[in-house]
Amino acid sequence: MSRKYFGTDGIRGRVGLFPINPEFCLRLGWAVGRVFAKKGSAHIIIGKDTRISGYMLESVLESGLVSAGANVSIIGPMPTPAIAYLTRTLHADAGVVISASHNPYYDNGIKFFDGAGNKLADEIELEIEAELAQKMVCVDSERLGKASRLTDAAGRYIEFCKATVPRGFSLRGMRIVLDCAHGATYHVAPRVFEELGADVIVTGAEPNGFNINDGCGSTHPQTLQAKVCELRADLGIAFDGDGDRVFLVDSTGRLLDGDELIYIIAAHRQQKGQLQGGVAGTVMSNFGLEKALNQLDIPFCRTNVGDRYVTEALLNRGWQLGGEASGHVLCLDLASTGDAIVAALQVLLAVTDSGLPIHELLDGMRKLPQVMVNVEVPDPRAVAECEPLGKAIVEKEQTLASRGRILVRASGTEPLLRVMVEGDDPEEVREIANELAYVAQNFC
């Protein structure tokens, strides 16, 4: 069965428009409470990022859950992976995250974790959607859930992050610039790196409800790149709004994306004899990553875009490491979902163990020039399948032959068609991407 409301990462949209409005989210909370409280009382954790709309959505979700008989713990602004961790360690039945990740403040979304801190299985999402089709009925007063605030959530999560590196690991003598994107990491990430000994300079840590991801964070790393060079820092770390994506910047201002971070972690773990199996990427992962891992005899597989698909591939193969160029990095031996702080610490562990600057850890990997053009269209899925675009793609693939590849797909989170072209010649790659974007916008 196809899902009506759930996308690849929960339910997301423009605030005030269906489904991200108070009426639907009240019913959503009730439906989730019904599903998880069927066998008696249920405990649900709710966290959020720093968007102004989070207050509104938090209150209606709480009301819906309580009206279905579920008990609720509210933890306020916290990174998405922190919700997954707390759901698991507090033995809650489910976790709810109110966030639209890297999107602007006027978008928001609702995503869920099960009791193990994993994304919900398809069958549970379908069960929730089935409840949404029913008439909303409040349980009797004696069965109403209770709501309380969890006050020590930040401290619990900070200790968890520090525990993902070996005892004795230290960042003393290292100057690090953190860009928290005015998002959910603003009050926890600086403490993690400071308590591990780093000299930390923090930017993007003054959220006002409207400035999340606005000209900062992993979606706008130019600010961090300039800051690292200006302050002569050893490196910079950029998070996205909900703390599940990360980019790094080396001392020269060079940006390192998710593919490069995955390579550093994989090579380090292999050298230490700690790499279990291979690495999972997506269809968007740079071909240079695949070639570099092959040189190290590390198996590599590709999945559809989305960290849930990478997670599935890792679990099916018994592997632990994977992710996306966009900065989702999965270390399943440490966390059940992509965790930006944990991933950054794993890269820094490779730096401290080797004693080498971060750029030297990338000597074995050369990324192919890759151009991504985002085309705003009303129906990205329909445009992706239109005949003129299909013909143009076939023609350009013949031009590239074995020197590159083309991927055109509809975004799972925004009304965008993503046109990606990869090859040896950067000018040719850019030209092909622009031509395909023109066809998509004007002939489909």
Q: What is the CATH number of the domain that holds 302?
A: 3.40.120.10
User: According to the model, what pLDDT value does residue 306 have?
Assistant: 86
Q: Is residue 5 part of a domain?
A: no
Q: Is residue 167 part of a domain?
A: no
pLDDT tier at 415, thresholds 50, 70, 90:
confident
Give residue-wise pLDDT tens across range 380-389. Answer: 999 999 999 9
Give residue-wise pLDDT tens across range 338-373. Answer: 999 999 999 999 999 999 999 999 999 999 998 999
Average pLDDT over residues 99-117: 96
Q: Is residue 262 part of a domain?
A: no
- For residues 412 and 7, the answer to whether their CB atoms sit within 8 Å is yes
Q: Is residue 157 part of a domain?
A: no
Tokens of 360: 């030297």
**Last residue within a domain, chosen from 208, 226, 255:** 255
The secondary structure element, H or E, covering residue 126 is helix 122-132
User: According to the model, what pLDDT value does residue 305 have?
Assistant: 85
User: According to the model, what pLDDT value does residue 3 have?
Assistant: 81
Distances 10 to 1, 13, 18, 110, 195 between C-alpha atoms, Å: 16, 10, 14, 6, 34
| Residue listed under structure tokens 């032959």 | 401
User: According to the model, what pLDDT value does residue 129 have?
Assistant: 97
Average pLDDT over residues 258-277: 97
d(CA 333, CA 65): 32
State the burial class of residue 112 (Cβ atoms within 10 Å of its Cβ: 0-12, 13-18, 19+).
buried
In eight-state DSSP terms, residue 280 is E
Residues 313 and 432 in one domain: no
Q: Is residue 349 part of a domain?
A: no
Greater pLDDT, 403 or 409: 409
* Range in 28-37, 39-48, 264-273 the model is least confident about: 39-48
Residues 24 and 143 in one domain: yes
Average pLDDT over residues 125-150: 96
pLDDT tier at 412, thresholds 50, 70, 90:
confident
Residues 399 and 426 in one domain: yes
- Strand pairing class (94-98; 42-48): parallel
Residues 56 and 132 in one domain: yes
Tell me the residue type at 130: A
- For residues 73 and 96, the answer to whether their CB atoms sit within 8 Å is no
User: According to the model, what pLDDT value does residue 336 have?
Assistant: 95
CATH of the domain at 422: 3.30.310.50
Backbone angles phi, psi at 67, to 5 degrees: -65, -20
Residues 250 and 178 in one domain: yes
Residues 40 and 123 in one domain: yes
Residues 201 and 228 in one domain: yes
Q: Is residue 383 part of a domain?
A: yes
Give residue-wise pLDDT tens across range 45-75. Answer: 999 999 999 999 999 999 999 999 999 999 9
d(CA 356, CA 284): 29
Backbone angles phi, psi at 327, to 5 degrees: 110, -5
d(CA 92, CA 43): 5
Q: Which of 63, 73, 99, 101 is catalytic?
A: 101
Average pLDDT over residues 410-416: 82
Residues 241 and 310 in one domain: no
Strands (E), 298-433: 300-303, 321-323, 329-331, 370-376, 404-410, 416-423
pLDDT tier at 424, thresholds 50, 70, 90:
confident
3-state secondary structure 140-170: CHHHCCCEEECCCHHHHHHHHHHCCCCCCCC
d(CA 87, CA 45): 7
Greater pLDDT, 38 or 343: 343
d(CA 277, CA 270): 10
Residues 127 and 199 in one domain: no
Residues 128 and 180 in one domain: no
Residues 22 and 91 in one domain: yes
> Comparing C-alpha atoms, which of 423, 422, 415 is closest to residue 440?
415
Mean predicted lDDT score pLDDT of the chain: 95
Q: Is residue 94 part of a domain?
A: yes
**Last residue within a domain, chosen from 255, 281, 311:** 255
pLDDT tier at 401, thresholds 50, 70, 90:
confident
Number of domains in the chain: 4
Give residue-wise pLDDT tens across range 182-218. Answer: 999 999 999 999 999 999 999 999 999 999 999 999 9
**Last residue within a domain, chosen from 221, 255, 289:** 255
pLDDT tier at 1, thresholds 50, 70, 90:
low
Residues 251 and 285 in one domain: no
Q: Is the pLDDT of residue 39 over 80?
A: no
- Strand pairing class (246-250; 255-256): antiparallel
d(CA 336, CA 199): 29
Q: Is residue 159 part of a domain?
A: no
Q: CA-based angle 321:234:172, to the nearest 5?
A: 85
Establish whether 101 is a catalytic residue. Answer: yes
The SS3 assignment for 406 reads strand
Give residue-wise pLDDT tens across range 227-251. Answer: 999 999 999 999 999 999 999 999 9
- Strand pairing class (246-250; 279-282): unpaired
Distances 343 to 152, 260, 321 between C-alpha atoms, Å: 23, 12, 10
The SS3 assignment for 343 reads helix
* Range in 38-47, 155-164, 193-202, 255-264 the model is least confident about: 38-47
Measured from the Cβ of residue 86, the count of other Cβ atoms closer than 10 Å reads 23
In eight-state DSSP terms, residue 276 is -
Domain span including residue 226? 172-255
